[in-house]
Amino acid sequence: MTTPRAQLSPVPARQAAACMCDHGDVCSSFAPGHALHLIQSRLAAATTAGWTDALVTDLDRAAGIVQVQTLEGETFSLWNAGGAALEVEPGQPVAVHTRWNVLAIGALRYNVARA
């Protein structure tokens, strides 16, 4: 004869998941604006039609926001937790992949979220 097992009820999680960049460490999330995933980088590189040239118009380094204006006049506010705002200056040319949300600053690539 076997003893019936007691069913344990699921315990609700008491913590919210947080990205390590909130604590000054390397991003542990691939959500928009956090770490650039290898697949996202490769898709952006492979689909060259999605890139548009832009100029940096404004910065908020403390908040991680880079505002850019495309050569067609469209304006984007882009947020990145990884320091993209520390790498640019107003007036600097950049490129934005509008489909895969990648900001290119020279050879550097950042995953961005439209703010």
Q: What is the pLDDT of residue 29?
A: 80
Q: Spell out the per-residue pLDDT of the chain, length 115, in tens.
A: 677 776 666 656 454 445 555 545 566 688 888 889 999 999 999 999 999 999 999 999 999 999 999 999 999 999 998 889 999 999 999 999 999 999 999 999 999 999 7
Helix (H, G, I), strand (E, B) or coil at 46: helix
Q: What is the pLDDT of residue 32?
A: 85
Q: What is the pLDDT of residue 34?
A: 85
Closest to 92 measured CA to CA, from 103, 80, 81:
103
Decide if 13 is inside a domain: no
Decide if 67 is inside a domain: yes
Decide if 46 is inside a domain: yes
Decide if 28 is inside a domain: yes
Phi and psi of 23, rounded to 5°? -110, 15
Sequence letter at residue 58? D
Tally of domains within the chain: 1
Decide if 98 is inside a domain: yes
Decide if 16 is inside a domain: no
Domain hosting residue 60, numbered range: 22-108
For residue 95, give the CATH number of its domain: 2.40.50
Decide if 113 is inside a domain: no
Q: What is the pLDDT of residue 46?
A: 95
